[in-house]
Amino acid sequence: MTQQPVVYTHGHHESVLRSHTWRTAANSAAYLLGELRPGLDLLDVGCGPGTITADLAALVAPGRVTAVDTSEEVLAKARATAAERGLENVEFAVADVQALDFPDDSFDVVHAHQVLQHVGDPVGALREMRRVCRPGGIVAARDSDYGAFAWYPERPVLDGWLELYHRVARANGGEPDAGRRLFAWARSAGFTDVAVTTTAWTFATPEERAWWSGLWADRTTASSYADLAVEGGHATRAELAEIAAAWREWGTREDASFMVPHGEVLCRVS
């Protein structure tokens, strides 16, 4: 049986937050927006630095938003995000999605973006999300699918990056190819009314390429992921440096583009 990760694979190094703080409800939760209206109570699990949370909070106000994460460090950033935007309907708490400290039927919408890929028991997590969701409410999850990432031009070292990422994330109890599994996980969790969709991020402008390749280059050498790779015996620091250099070189190519597909499930609670 897979162990629950003791450490979030990426950690919250600046190179990781550079990606998370770019996220909005529009670019990361569009599949959910048609379900939202003022007055709904929403739980955002694994909220990270809270930029998606803040957008969702503005859409459901005066409904209450509760945002939880296992990391107190990143919750401090999420609190700051909400305060900067003047949001008064959001509260924050440390919580593990696999054992939520909320009564049954507490929320109208329970949302998780790129979280289930990092937990040891994603089906149990979805059951917990359903437990705290009111009948008639929605459990919404979106996860990327590393095995479906596609990029051009090809680089053998970047193929090695993807293979290494799979090994490190799985050794840490996660499942990087989560997007394709969300529907099956939702069914295993007992959901019978599930809408499944797929959307992708695309990085192809000079700015997007520089940003995406730069954050992966830095993440590969300086984040918790780098430490897990080395401490787990999956790569040496020299190999990580070679991968980072390949990312930077790839990012300079004027014809380069990168696609990041995500699976999405909207599960109606009966």
Q: Which residues pair with 150 in a beta bridge?
A: 259
Residues of this chain, 228-257, that bind ligand SAM according to CB under 6 A = none
One residue of 15, 20, 165, 266 binding ligand SAM per CB under 6 A? 20
262 sits near ligand SAM (criterion: CB under 6 A): no
96 sits near ligand SAM (criterion: CB under 6 A): yes
51's CB contacts (< 8 A; 6+ apart) are 20, 21, 22, 23, 24, 81
119 sits near ligand SAM (criterion: CB under 6 A): yes
CB of 28 to ligand SAM, least distance (A): 6
241's CB contacts (< 8 A; 6+ apart) are 221
Binding segment for ligand SAM among 70-78, 165-173, 176-184, 249-257 (CB under 6 A)? Answer: 70-78
Beta strand segments in the chain, E: 42-45, 65-69, 90-94, 107-113, 133-144, 150-152, 193-203, 257-268
17 sits near ligand SAM (criterion: CB under 6 A): no
With contact defined as beta carbons under 8 Å apart, do 109 and 141 qualify?
no
Binding segment for ligand SAM among 57-65, 81-89, 109-117, 232-240 (CB under 6 A)? Answer: 109-117
Residues that bind ligand SAM (CB under 6 A): 8, 20, 23, 28, 45-48, 52, 69-71, 74, 96-98, 113-115, 118-119
